[in-house]
Chain A
Amino acid sequence: MTLIAETGYEFWSPIIWLIALAVLSVIIYFFRKRGQEKYKKGEDQAQIFLCGEEVPAAEERQVRGGNAYWGFFETLREYYDGIVRLHTGIVNDYIVWFVAVTAISAIILLIVKLIG
């Protein structure tokens, strides 16, 4: 009952996946247990170390979401310049897009009728 076998190629069973994940977690835990055990919470070793520099306040050292994926946006700058320009925020433009889609779809169906 938990299987989806109708995808055409294979089946998907979350239960089997979870069992595999559990086995993998046990293996990872085993290796982790063999690691450093001398860590003590709340002592100097748990403090942030910035090459001896003063550690900035929490607000200042938080990496903002707006800074994420900078390289991705730089690479796709032309795409983003174009696509953002289309999102004008003006409701008239939204309706123009509706008219355009309607017209293009109608032309496609008309051509199909004429050809067919």
Chain B
Amino acid sequence: MATLIEQSSILIIAIPLLIAFLTPLIGMASKKARNTVVIVGLAFVAFLVFALARDVILNGIHIYTLGATSSSLTIPEGTMIPVRIILEVDGVSVFMGIVVAIVALVAVVYSLSAMKEETGQNRFYTLLLLLIAGTFGMVFTGDLFNLFVFLEIASISGAALIAFKIRFADSQEGGFKYIVVSAIASLMVLFAISLLYAQYNLLNMGALAAAMQYTMLDRIALVILIAAFAMKLGGVPMHMWLSDTYSVAPASITVLLITASQASMYALMRICFILYGVTLDLAVVGWIIIAIGILSMFVGVTMAVRQTDITRLIAYNCVCEAGFMLIGLGVGLAVLGDRTALSTYGTTAISGAFFHMINHALFEGLLFLVAGAIFYRIGTRDINRMGGLGHTMKLTAVFFLLGALASSGLPPFNGFASKILIYESVYQFNPILTIIGILVSIITLAVFVKAFFSAFTGALLPKYADIKEVPKTMIAAMTIFAVIIIIFGLFPGLIVDWIVRPATDALVDQASYINAIMGAIP
């Protein structure tokens, strides 16, 4: 078991990659065998993620150096800098790993039925596993260049998956937009990395953080990295691609795209808190992130309430929810240099952002799966053409209501638990932020009242009289999300203590991250 945990960080990335390339071969022999391999493989990966999380929370940062005689040997003999590819897994990484593992497993279970009638399923699962591997890689790597590589893997596979139902023109358009935006973001990230590399000859984030001097070039690199990752996570005003792509991708892919966007938010946090840390202009950069957060909340929710396409409506709500996370993180960053403010409310704001991140993946994921279920049965996303579906799709209606209430931040659901952490902590930083947050939550409720009312209530429309509930595996996938939402809502303290607080502690502890790399000099 100890060896397994020691190798777990690389296995979590390698197993989906391996299965991705095995899938077409197995699929040629048997579809059932292919599906089994994918499910079992991802279940094993999820097990490894939880085992690794336990190890990291109990024993601290996990290091894995590729190609070294010992996995913890970060700096080779005769050199003073880490030159190998290193995976550095701390509380933040395992937190993100848990999010990705849960969502990936649910996405695959949902896909079994939802994609059953589609052609090219072998390619679908290959791309899906590449997207999962890329996202895991982004959150586990301790190396900036590898961050770029995994970002590219996730982006390219994501674009192909968005356009997977190629018979639909909007799917093709969505895939095209995603690859253009992702390519620009990736190239800008690479450019920023090259600026840092040109100055410090380093790519390892821990080593770079130790050497960081915050020169003019560092400032330029920072600005580019913030803008690029903010675009990838759908921050306003760079959010427009998000509604165009999330709304047209297969539902199971959209939930994975949410985690891919969250991996970009992770990268943004890693860069601000760990790579630059207290060297940067904390208040200014914090407020830039808060400003993007406020815009995202307001524009996201006001655009959502106007939509008549149910998936676009949920997609704009994703933009809005990202705003909540950005505000929490921005406040945490703004007070990073002030120990008193950080301990009084800064860490709570960051914890709220983290907790909201996992909650967001769950309830938005559930909402997208419900929207996918509706499309699967009636073939439209237009809420003006829906009505009375609650008569025939009772479980789906309950799932939608659950996701909607959680997203609107109503007690006792998980969305409320994370939002109250954000509200009360950012109130101490600036009360207006809390007021905006509460206002946005009220409008969010209005958004989902409209969607639920239009789709599920009212008289059963004769054209939908024969509509049945979706297949069992799709119900099972939605049930998993629903159950976790309820558990997280009922026991928020458990989740905060177990995975959120360690993630927060790791994010504000730059010294430990650096020492894990630089302290292991032979």
Residues of A near any B CB (own CB < 8 A): 1-4, 6-10, 12, 14-15, 17-18, 21, 57-59, 61-66, 68-69, 72-73, 76, 79-80, 83-84, 86-89, 91, 93-95, 97-98, 100-102, 105-106, 108-110, 112-113, 116
Contacts and interface: CB of A to CB of B under 8 A. Distances in A.
A101 B306 contact: no
Interface stretch (B67-75, B81-89, B487-495): B487-495
B334 to A, nearest CB: 13
Contacts of A65: 308, 383-384, 386, 450-451, 453-455
B306 A73 contact: yes
30 contacts: A2-B491, A4-B492, A6-B348, A7-B424, A14-B417, A14-B489, A14-B491, A17-B412, A58-B461, A58-B462, A59-B462, A61-B459, A62-B458, A63-B453, A64-B383, A69-B305, A69-B446, A72-B305, A80-B302, A80-B306, A91-B241, A95-B180, A95-B184, A101-B231, A101-B238, A105-B223, A105-B226, A106-B219, A109-B222, A109-B281
A9 B420 CA distance: 11
B344 A1 contact: no
Contacts of B417: 4, 12, 14
B5 interface: no
What 8 A-B pairs come out closest when comparing CB atoms?
A65-B454, A14-B412, A58-B459, A65-B383, A7-B424, A102-B227, A62-B387, A64-B384
B224 interface: yes
The residue among A18, A101, A116 with the most chain B CB atoms within 10 A of its own CB is A101
B345 A112 contact: no
A3 B177 CA distance: 44
A41 to B, nearest CB: 15
Contacts of A2: 490-494
Nearest to B285: A109
A76 B451 contact: no
Interface in B481-522: 489-494, 496-497
A97 to B, nearest CB: 5
Nearest to A79: B302
B223 A109 contact: yes
Given A65-B451, A83-B299, A113 B424 contact: no
B176 interface: yes
Contacts, number: 169
Nearest to A10: B424
Interface in B228-285: 228, 230-231, 237-238, 240-241, 244, 281, 284-285
Interface residues of B, number: 72
A69 B449 CA distance: 11
Contacts of B226: 105
Interface of B: 176-177, 180-181, 184-185, 188, 216, 219-220, 222-224, 226-228, 230-231, 237-238, 240-241, 244, 281, 284-285, 288, 292, 299, 302-303, 305-306, 308, 344-345, 348, 351, 383-384, 386-388, 411-412, 416-417, 420-421, 424-425, 428, 446, 450-451, 453-455, 458-463, 489-494, 496-497
Contacts of A101: 227, 230-231, 237-238, 292
B412 A91 contact: no
A98 B181 CA distance: 9
B348 A86 contact: no
A105 B492 contact: no
A96 to B, nearest CB: 10
Nearest to A7: B424
Contacts of B181: 91, 94-95
Is the contact region of chain A dominated by helix, strand, or loop, or is it mixed? helix
Given A14-B411, A58-B388, A108-B284, A91 B177 contact: yes
The residue among A21, A79, A87 with the most chain B CB atoms within 10 A of its own CB is A87
A102 B306 CA distance: 29
B173 to A, nearest CB: 9
A76 B446 CA distance: 15
Contacts of A6: 348, 351, 421, 496
Given A69-B450, A72-B446, 7 more contacts: A1-B491, A2-B494, A6-B421, A8-B345, A87-B240, A105-B226, A112-B284
B489 A8 contact: no
A61 B387 CA distance: 10
Nearest to B242: A94
Contacts of A95: 180-181, 184
A97 B412 contact: no
Nearest to A58: B459
B281 to A, nearest CB: 5
Contact of A12 (B228, B241, B492): B492
The residue among A73, A95, A100 with the most chain B CB atoms within 10 A of its own CB is A95
B223 A97 contact: no
Nearest to B181: A94
A1 B284 contact: no
Nearest to B176: A91
A105 B285 CA distance: 9
A14 B496 CA distance: 14
Contacts of B292: 101
B227 A105 contact: yes
Given A91-B180, A108-B288, A59 B461 contact: yes
A4 to B, nearest CB: 5
Contacts of A9: 424
A45 to B, nearest CB: 18
Contacts of B285: 109
Contacts of B216: 113
A113 B240 contact: no
A10 B417 CA distance: 12
A7 B133 CA distance: 36
Contact of B490 (A4, A15, A86, A87): A15
Contacts of A87: 240, 303
